[in-house]
Structure 1
């Protein structure tokens, strides 16, 4: 499959709770010191699945992703109930990809067999670093040894697994990162997510960075770290299929491809986003972020949706451009024209091509080059203008 020639439908389920809040994280995650009523939340998930399926009946689910937060804090029976609920209201394809995000702690790794029995067939581990000093600085609760042990347990429990690492960390050099990446690739069977550390507003790291107490690599070093990432991963047969994701051929995360290819997905749980096609129109949905407020909305109304916008043709096209150009496979300009009602400006396309930022394949697909990926935002802005 190389784009929009085969429709897909994904279901994203957001578990919003974490044991602690990492200082770099701006995701919708919440720490609760009192016990969480997991059964009550499970019932709300099932109710929102039912209500969403009534809006978009007859879909065929090709991927399910349990994200967070920390979904591996859920009991396996809760995960099983959610998956059963999805299967009751939509048809699930026989080879469905079902991913669960997990922290690589020894406590959560003991649940892997239970998740496998519940139906999960792929796990994504938030390793983030493979040295203890960096893990402490990132606010992670596991050690490097614990992370590698969890990867080994995942390898035994699941046919498919992936893990995340963050680079461009304070004081990190390309040589240090190269060694860490080689170790990671030796442990990774088919997929790695490798993210440059970004300083997000509203996080503790933002305040530390603004005050000069947190120093990240300068632009030249960050570019060198990116180049090292691409070279080492490609050499080991894990090329980038998306700007931050690397996989062996055929092992790409199918659920994330749903997002990047502009396909349809349902968002379930606190702060979940969705893209639903209803009566020929694309709806952009978002649910209440605060877990307890979402819970009460679902119990009262059957869903926690607080935003339900109909995207016009220009918004749909811009979204397709923004997401699709993150992929190594790029976009089909003909699909862009169908969505927007206009073609991409040939003069802008030609200029970016001459600058080496984009390439045009024999079949007409337009993709960002390795030289263009570090300035992807500027490329997208230029094409969308």
Structure 2
């Protein structure tokens, strides 16, 4: 039975962070969560009617801030999924959460609902930087949330953002040492980037918000070394884990496997009847809600992905992994060798430049290649 992953998007937050370009907005004070629960259940049923012969491998509640939902809503969605599909015994069920006291108080209830992995949006362990990043919690709340996550969940992760304006290498090393002391087996460590359409994008015209490129590159290299020494080597550009603690849901994306997107603005990629589809839902939460309650789905687009596009996307995603792309898995997925898709001459030049490793079983980026991945992908694809 072919595995399938589910991504469920909750588009609301307590506030909008200035660096965030995700589909999120401030939680309305008059939101009727029962209506949202009904819409999620309807869209899940819609996709089960199409893909009900699949086995659910991972479920991911993302956002937004899905920990703002009631634990009863999370439980209802997990129970519905189990009623609609066969669910793998070791199914990974992740919930994103923020370190506010109101959300931390619900951790045990979320675990009781069926969540078995928590992903905390900490972002910094310093009050000044948390204020700069527009976060609603302080450093003490961040530490308390991490400690509570460790007590409640066998598997948890938290995020930090580095290469912030005025951040020194020494300050980042100290912050990372403190993060490692919490004993998490997975960390997501992102360089601050300025995305179009965000509040930071507007501010960046008047002020410097990120570290200089050479310092950011040095921070990345030091991060790689520190995480490897701590037993959490990178398995993807920004993700680090002990063996067996990788995010299985995110590996679905990077391995270019099938997933369904549920909720406002969610995307999906899956094969049905031998045809590969891409889906995209209404970004506007109200429009998504209204359409789902009337038509049982919130799609604005469903397109067939041609083989060339699929291969290009798979290359882009797979080379983000430090392990790279397994050539046998590629051949099984596309019924064609990876070596036929990426020209030998291009691969040879990238090998000579020290940017990729190309052997009989694998195509992967080197450490230098990962730092220049956009250029590598632009040349290879």
- Which position in structure 1 is the counterpart of 2:151? 156
SS at match of 1:34: coil
2:11 is matched with 16
The Cα of 1:30 is off from its aligned counterpart by 1.1
Match of 1:356 in 2: 354
TM-score (norm 2): 0.96
Matching residue of 1:81? 76
Match of 1:214, SS?
coil
Counterpart of 1:316 in 2: which secondary structure? helix
- Could you say which residue in structure 2 is the equivalent of 1:318? 312
Cross-structure match for 1:225: 219
The Cα of 1:32 is off from its aligned counterpart by 3.4
- Structure 1 counterpart of 2:293, from 299, 317, 329: 299
Aligned-pair CA distance for 1:207:
0.8
Number of the residue aligned with 1:245: 239
Q: Compute the displacement of 1:147 (Å).
A: 0.7
Is 2:371 the partner of 1:374? Answer: yes
- The CA distance in 2 between the partners of 1:222 and 1:343, in whole Å, is 33
Q: Which range moved further: 170-179 or 239-248?
A: 170-179
CA deviations 1:256-296 (Å, max 9, x no partner) are: 00000000011001111111211101101111111111000
User: How far apart in 2 are the matches of 1:343 and 1:98?
Assistant: 35
The SS at the match of 1:378 is helix
Show the counterpart of 1:91.
Answer: 86
2-side partners of 1:126 and 1:17: how far apart?
A: 14
Structure 2 equivalent of residue 327 of structure 1: 321
Deviates more, 1:52-61 or 1:120-129: 52-61
Gaps of 5+ in 1: 1-5
Contact 1:314–1:340 (CA under 8 A) maintained in structure 2: no
1:254, distance to aligned residue in structure 2 (A): 0.3
State the SS of the aligned residue for 2:367. coil
Provide the rounded CA distance (Å) in 1 between the counterparts of 2:227 and 2:111.
29
Shift of 1:343: 3.0
Q: Between Structure 1 and Structure 2, how many residues are aligned?
A: 377
Moved more, 337-346 or 126-135: 337-346
TM-score, normalised by the number of residues in structure 1: 0.95
Alpha carbon RMSD of aligned pairs, Å? 1.4
Matches for 1:31-46 after TM superposition, within 5 Å = 31-46=26-41
User: C-alpha separation between the residues in 1 aligned to 2:188 and 2:326?
Assistant: 25
Q: For 1:62, which of 29, 36, 57 is the aligned residue?
A: 57
Q: Are the aligned partners of 1:314 and 1:339 in contact in 2 as well (CA < 8 Å)?
A: no
Matched residue SS, 1:372: helix
Q: Does the CA contact (< 8 Å) of 2:347 and 2:358 recur in 1?
A: no
Taking the aligned partners of 2:151 and 2:252, their CA distance within structure 1 comes to 27
| In structure 2, C-alpha distance between the alignment counterparts of 1:348 and 1:151, rounded to whole Å | 45
Structure 1 counterpart of 2:269: 275
Contact (CA 8 Å) 1:316, 1:340: kept in 2 or not? no
| Equivalent-residue separation in structure 2 for 1:189 and 1:120 (angstroms) | 17
